[in-house]
Amino acid sequence: MQRKLKKKIMEKMVNLQIEKLPEGVYLATSDNLQGLVVQGNTITETIEIARDVAKKLIEAQEQQIANLAMFNNFFSADSDRK
């Protein structure tokens, strides 16, 4: 028996500011994704690293939101019992 798993894919746009540092490497930051600061030897490498870091940051934010929702639901249900 085979099951098909569907994976929810959502694309998000993240604005990057990339600058070349005096050391010869590139630094990328983002104003709309807190914590995104990456460095690479080329622009392409910097963008690839930024993509991976952005994905992890977004996943962490989504998990934090889910945890807060669960926390709020727990206390809302608890206050309804009183």
DSSP one-letter string for 42-54: SHHHHHHHHHHHH
**Amino acid making up residue 40:** G
Identity of the residue numbered 52:
D
Q: What is the pLDDT of residues 30-67, one digit of tens each?
A: 999 999 999 999 999 999 999 999 999 999 988 888 88
Full-model pTM: 0.70
DSSP 15-65: --EEEE-TTS-EEEE-SSSTT-EEEESSHHHHHHHHHHHHHHHHHHHHHHH
Torsions phi, psi for 37 (to 5 deg):
-140, 115
